[in-house]
Structure 1
Amino acid sequence: MTLDAYAAELRLVDHHVHGAFAAAPDRAGFEEAFRELLHEASRDAVAVKTVAAYRAGLDLDWSAPEPAAVRAAAGRWLAEAEPRPRLCDPVLLRHGVHCAVERGLPIQVHTGFGDRDLDLHRANPLLLTGLLRQPAVAAVPVMLLHCYPFHREAGYLAQAFDQVYCDVGLAVNHVGARATAVVAESMELAPFAKLLYSSDAWGPAELHFLGAALWRRATAAAVQAWVDAGDWSEPDARRVVRMIGRENALRAYRL
């Protein structure tokens, strides 16, 4: 089972969050109630997650919203007629992310390639630069998930910000024979201590197996080519693969 299975996915899950607050007599309490709900839901988690990229894009003003703005946005969202309205309000998404920062767990952020309801140009991890510069965020590991085709941009962020990590798990499952090239490109700038293995698997056990097998094959081919060219020593190659495949995650997720 991958770390993804243990992460409390802070997807701002529409039906769960909406149901928790829609019947509340005092909707002005949304701001603090959400914090409490997040703490309770993540009590045994090793990480939280946001899919703000799907709901509003990452090109947001990433400052923490004022309490009055959160209350007003919550009132509008809770009043919507749909039984489970999508939580797309940028103010509430920002509030959720800043609550996650306060929670102190590693924060997984979906970036790059995704389903058709995502605007890819708004999922570039470089759009998170303003968030990553904030002192409170500097104290929390930020895990940039998937990243492709912005894996080089993600590598820059991992190099520039101490708290940033990245992976290309989703891409490996989609690019086929080019997986070796994508894995190699992900290592161009990102420090080896900031790269993470990911299967991007969910559901059937076969997906976890295939994700791991494809990553191992692509990674082995990339580093073996560097060893054969004399650019890396074999001990260094083995050490880097161990770091990416296991050790970095143990450290970043504080396991």
Structure 2
Amino acid sequence: MVTAANAPGPGAGSAVLDGLPPLVDHHCHGVIRYEPDPGTFAAFLTEADRPPAAGTTFFDTQTGFAVRRWCPPLLDLPEHCPPEHYLARRRELGPDETRRRLLTATGIGAYLLDTGLSGDLTGPAETAGAGGGTGHEVVRLEALAERTAAGHRGAGTADAAEEFAGDLARAVRAAADTAVAFKSVAAYRHGLALAPAPPGPDAVRTAARDWLGAGAPRLTDPVLLRHLVWLAVATGRPLQLHTGFGDPDLRLDHADPTLLTDLVRATADTGTDLVLLHCYPYHRQAAYLAGVFPHVYADVGLTLTHVGPRAAAVLAEFLELAPFGKLLFSTDAYGLPELYAVGSALFRSALGEVLGGWTASGAWSAADARRVAAMIAAGTARRVYGLPDDGPPDAER
């Protein structure tokens, strides 16, 4: 069983983290199975989609420095060793052993993995198996719609649109039987300023006919994106929504979570929880939404990895307004197992620093700090996603 004791990070020694349960990484991605060359490895350290500027390297970022701080000791190297030494050691060990060492050290006990990205990536069971935990699937709605449309693409007829709409509704219901949650990347495809009400059948069919007839593989139509959201809401499974920063495929000003306010209001009585992902630099806005709407939750996954030693400040800012049972841990790790190790280490370090400081000041009791730490680390995610307290759920993915 993975425990907190073997996880990296100075926060692991803080009294407020004593007895912390195995982490639930409620949003993450698969790991590459192959050994990356130096350029490919460095590209995973950034949200940029192009090579670095001449004379620079992606290792010279907070993420790059964090990898060199936390990961070398797990591969028998000194902290902050040069990148070339680290990558050479990685090649010696090979991708399987590297993955096993790094994931085992995270203290993560459950991985809720978004399977919507393409490439030679590990799935939920394989990722979790390397770290000694359990794996569960999060279904990306837009990827599901694009797979469903593959058999209809190019047929811009009313009949094709009708058939696609029926197939899509069935696909979402079927996915809900096995997945622990859905995820939308509407922030990338259109932006979060979606009309709040579910679109009517005629609007859905018209949008589907136009999309299928155009033969475009990528779904960007706001009517269909909104339709997907409401199909997912109808299942009762939690719905994760990308907000805040990401790669250049989005416009950051279109990813402010407050743009979802009308949709949040419209879904308030559906029984479906909404989980805002990443949020930075709008994490205070996300905290506000989580504070005033009972069915809204949020995380600062991805953010902590990218802000490095400022992680404690960002975490403290989120906790200014958000109820303490509304924040969830995630790494949003993708591609490199190093990002799991860094994400979990920075989370522990930041959580220990923030809650330890508040306890030392007398603002919090030590008992309350330990209780809140356990909620953020695992307890809230287990409640929101219906995971049992111990062991895998009845339908492990």
TM-score, length basis structure 1? 0.93
Question: Which residue number in structure 1 is paired with residue 138 of structure 2?
Answer: 8
Instruction: Report SS of the residue matched to 1:145.
Output: strand
Contact 1:101 1:137 in 2 (8 A): no
Where does the alignment leave 5 or more consecutive residues of structure 1 unmatched?
none
Q: Which amino acid aligns with 1:213?
A: A
Instruction: Report SS of the residue matched to 2:364.
Output: coil
Name the CA distance, whole Å, in 2 between partners of 1:31 and 1:110: 24
**C-alpha displacement of 1:235:** 1.3
Contact 2:154 2:213 in 1 (8 A): no
Question: Which residue number in structure 2 is paired with residue 244 of structure 1?
Answer: 376
**C-alpha displacement of 1:29:** 2.5
Name the CA distance, whole Å, in 1 between partners of 2:146 and 2:316: 40
* Structural RMSD (CA): 1.7
**C-alpha displacement of 1:137:** 5.4
1:180 to 299, 312, 324: 312
Q: Deviations over 1:166-211 (max 9, x none)?
A: 0001110101111110011111111011110111113443322221
Name the CA distance, whole Å, in 2 between partners of 1:107 and 1:31: 20
2:249 to 113, 117, 122: 117
1:48 to 172, 182, 186: 182
Going from structure 1 to structure 2, the CA distance change for 1:20 and 1:233 (only over 3 Å counts) comes to farther
Name the CA distance, whole Å, in 2 between partners of 1:235 and 1:8: 33
**C-alpha displacement of 1:247:** 0.3
Going from structure 1 to structure 2, the CA distance change for 1:215 and 1:136 (only over 3 Å counts) comes to closer
Question: Which residue number in structure 1 is paired with residue 149 of structure 2?
Answer: 18
Q: Deviations over 1:8-36 (max 9, x none)?
A: 33241164132143377632232222110
Name the CA distance, whole Å, in 2 between partners of 1:135 and 1:62: 9
Name the CA distance, whole Å, in 1 between partners of 2:358 and 2:335: 35
Instruction: Report SS of the residue matched to 1:79.
Output: helix
Instruction: Report SS of the residue matched to 1:169.
Output: coil
**C-alpha displacement of 1:81:** 3.8
Name which of structure 1's ranges 27-36 and 168-177 shifts more when overlaid on structure 2. Answer: 27-36
Q: Which amino acid aligns with 2:225?
A: L
Q: Which amino acid aligns with 1:44?
A: T
Q: Percent identity?
A: 47
Name the CA distance, whole Å, in 2 between partners of 1:92 and 1:101: 14
Contact 2:327 2:380 in 1 (8 A): yes
Contact 2:268 2:295 in 1 (8 A): no
**C-alpha displacement of 1:135:** 4.8
Contact 1:8 1:41 in 2 (8 A): no
Alignment of 1:165-204 (within 5 A): 165-204=297-336
2:187 maps to 1:57: no
Going from structure 1 to structure 2, the CA distance change for 1:207 and 1:137 (only over 3 Å counts) comes to farther
Question: Which residue number in structure 2 is paired with residue 76 of structure 1?
Answer: 210
Contact 2:203 2:223 in 1 (8 A): yes
Q: Which amino acid aligns with 1:99?
A: L
Higher relative CO (Cα under 8 Å, sequence separation at least 6) belongs to: 2
Alignment of 1:82-231 (within 5 A): 82=216, 84=217, 86-135=218-267, 138-231=270-363
Q: Which has the higher helix share?
A: 1
Contact 2:154 2:215 in 1 (8 A): no
Instruction: Report SS of the residue matched to 1:70.
Output: helix
Where does the alignment leave 5 or more consecutive residues of structure 2 unmatched?
1-109, 114-123, 125-135, 388-397
Q: Which amino acid aligns with 1:223?
A: L
**C-alpha displacement of 1:131:** 1.0
**C-alpha displacement of 1:136:** 6.2
Name the CA distance, whole Å, in 2 between partners of 1:50 and 1:105: 13
1:31 to 124, 147, 165: 165
Instruction: Report SS of the residue matched to 2:306.
Output: coil
Contact 2:154 2:214 in 1 (8 A): no
Name the CA distance, whole Å, in 1 between partners of 2:345 and 2:199: 43
Name the CA distance, whole Å, in 1 between partners of 2:191 and 2:243: 9
Name the CA distance, whole Å, in 1 between partners of 2:291 and 2:339: 30
TM-score, length basis structure 2? 0.61
Which structure would you say has the larger Rg? 2
Name which of structure 1's ranges 187-196 and 220-229 shifts more when overlaid on structure 2. Answer: 220-229
Name the CA distance, whole Å, in 1 between partners of 2:183 and 2:254: 18
